[in-house]
Chain A
């Protein structure tokens, strides 16, 4: 699979803003349209930092390198501009927002993105129809849609809600940050089915995970191993199996 490059990360160096601590030390990664890439790696390797930096979270300073989405420099955009450009981060810890209804949140986000792209807003009726249809396949009931965003949701419900947002917003580049954490087997299956339903030639995924088991459900085209702020090895799905069987130690040893 060698599509046109959708996400291109070159020599990305990132440190924490508040302290002198380098987290990413020259990440290179390119994902073509329609491809699914996985990043695996031990704790503290910089996987989540990469996802936050790409989505524009505060607290990080890019000291070198670039990241482009369809050729446009992501790192210069506000978080909302990145979203409108087609980037989506499924959070490892989805945020609870008391007082904001889930439906209001979804509709506001969808229409804000459409507005930013110069598209017409979706009418209340069309939106309702769309959200009900997508929610049904993720087994999200009417009550969850009515409740405030993620408030009182179980771990699995929060993750399903992330996938619902992804399905509604139809991003082109989806980053899943440890979406499998805190999920039981059934919930993982449901979430994976939701993701797989969204796979298409024009949409790419970057799946960040500790474990191979998620990749049994969401089959990657390419697997990267990240350690100490760099991608140290890239391969096919078999690389994930290797990690599962042997751990990271051998791979880390190879590099050092």
Chain B
């Protein structure tokens, strides 16, 4: 088993420089993750699940160097949104730059602090959803994260959170290698919005485990960094109870490599999960959305809406699956992945999959790849809209279905403004 041996060697090299924090329930969870990771090894190019994205720079021992981005006048995403800020610099929580975490309806703790306690609610979550998400496909980089995360935050919503909790990730060193692990628990009927933005590090490995209890509502809007050379692999593992709602939207602009995985389990009946992404890439940009939605409960609804705008050799990948288990009757599943190729050099690779074991379900999926609509472009220009502005309008129109998944209009408007800024900087 030469391949397996190579994977083990790669794993040994990767984790040699990482520190393992033992002790307490967290230490036990980490040890469990390390044992699972050792059995898996790290992903390699020949793995089917990494067919379209080369994981080597995500698995090598040292993070490849990534230059910092000069933001100039461009404001940070969410700058105008009233929120509770928690700041991480190169993957380390910075209390000085962060707000007081006390807020009605929410408990917020730093991972390291909670790990030292004997009993904690996160005990039933940390590494647990990640472990569940290893079937039927292995996701070793998430397990690596559970074993070696150096920081993170535990968020428990017990009521309706007064403000969004905003996780801000600054990238300060050109060689930083950050591993963050967050857990979010939304209790019965509670509601919270989590915002994330910033490149975080030269290389960023992040896991977020989200459990939404009966009737709980979870909203997640993320904007992944502007640093052109950053690399990121992120996982969201979510489990939804009866009547729970999960909505996640990601904007990705820039970054040489991004792999965003979402593993969502609709466990209870009547749950709703929407996961959406808008990615814009120019040049050396590889963006991979890998999504796995499992319908176990009845009458659940899931939507996957992924849109990519690619130019100058940028590459977009979409691997999306809907698995409808036996008994998950009246499932309503929808999946769309589309790319707008602004030139002939860019490419989009899509692998949509449906696997259905119930007989009374509605599932649809579609994937398209196309150029800008010349007729629409002429129509706009004939009304006096200059070429570049007309193209920008059409690009935003193409992304609109994904942005429409953001419920909060102020946040959606902020995301649109980020995109407009990006389009202006990356003129056609």
Residues of A within 8 A of B (CB): 55-58, 78-80, 82-84, 88-89, 91, 94-100, 104-105, 108-110, 112-113, 116, 148, 165, 169
A105-B380, A108-B393 as given contacts; A95 in contact with B387, CB under 8 Å:
no
Residue from A94, A104, A109, A110 whose CB has the most chain B CB atoms within 10 Å: A109
- Contact check, B380 vs A97: say whether CB atoms are below 8 A apart: yes
Find chain A residues with CB under 8 A from B386 CB: 78, 80, 112, 116
Give min CB distance, A49 to chain B, whole Å: 14
Give min CB distance, B29 to chain A, whole Å: 44
Q: Which of B383, B385, B396 contacts A99 (CB 8 A)?
A: B396
- Contact check, B400 vs A99: say whether CB atoms are below 8 A apart: yes
- Contact check, A97 vs B378: say whether CB atoms are below 8 A apart: no
- Contact check, B381 vs A78: say whether CB atoms are below 8 A apart: yes
State the 5 A-B residue pairs at the shortest beta-carbon distance, nearest first.
A99-B397, A83-B384, A113-B384, A109-B383, A99-B400
Residues of B within 8 A of A (CB): 373-376, 378-387, 389-390, 393-394, 396-401
5 extra interchain contacts, Cβ-Cβ under 8 A, other than A95-B378, A108-B393? Answer: A78-B387, A97-B373, A99-B399, A105-B393, A112-B384
Bound-state CA distance A91–B398 (Å) is 23
Chain A, residue nearest B379 (CB): A95
Chain A, residue nearest B403 (CB): A99
Chain A, residue nearest B399 (CB): A99
Task: Please name 24 pairs of A and B residues whose Cβ atoms are closer than 8 Å in the assembled complex, sorted by A.
Answer: A55-B382, A57-B378, A78-B386, A80-B382, A80-B387, A83-B383, A84-B384, A89-B382, A91-B382, A94-B379, A95-B376, A96-B376, A97-B397, A99-B398, A100-B396, A104-B393, A108-B385, A108-B393, A109-B380, A110-B384, A112-B383, A112-B385, A112-B386, A169-B383
Bound-state CA distance A179–B389 (Å) is 28
Chain A, residue nearest B396 (CB): A99
Find chain B residues with CB under 8 A from A116 CB: 384, 386
Bound-state CA distance A98–B401 (Å) is 10
A58-B378, A95-B376 as given contacts; A100 in contact with B394, CB under 8 Å:
yes
Find chain B residues with CB under 8 A from A78 CB: 381, 386-387
- Contact check, B381 vs A56: say whether CB atoms are below 8 A apart: yes
- Contact check, A58 vs B374: say whether CB atoms are below 8 A apart: yes
A97-B394, A99-B396, A99-B400 as given contacts; A105 in contact with B378, CB under 8 Å:
no
Give min CB distance, B391 to chain A, whole Å: 12
- Contact check, A79 vs B396: say whether CB atoms are below 8 A apart: no
Chain A, residue nearest B400 (CB): A99
Find chain A residues with CB under 8 A from B380 CB: 97, 105, 109
Chain A, residue nearest B376 (CB): A97
Bound-state CA distance A108–B385 (Å) is 7
Find chain A residues with CB under 8 A from B381 CB: 56, 78-80, 83
Residue from A79, A96, A108 whose CB has the most chain B CB atoms within 10 Å: A79
Give min CB distance, B345 to chain A, whole Å: 22
Give min CB distance, B279 to chain A, whole Å: 16
Bound-state CA distance A169–B382 (Å) is 11
Bound-state CA distance A165–B379 (Å) is 12
Find chain A residues with CB under 8 A from B385 CB: 80, 108-109, 112
- Contact check, A109 vs B398: say whether CB atoms are below 8 A apart: no
Bound-state CA distance A83–B401 (Å) is 30
- Contact check, A108 vs B387: say whether CB atoms are below 8 A apart: no
- Contact check, A99 vs B382: say whether CB atoms are below 8 A apart: no
Find chain B residues with CB under 8 A from A104 CB: 393
A95-B379, A97-B376 as given contacts; A80 in contact with B393, CB under 8 Å:
no
- Contact check, A100 vs B382: say whether CB atoms are below 8 A apart: no
Bound-state CA distance A169–B383 (Å) is 8
Find chain A residues with CB under 8 A from B382 CB: 55-57, 79-80, 82-83, 88-89, 91
Bound-state CA distance A56–B377 (Å) is 12
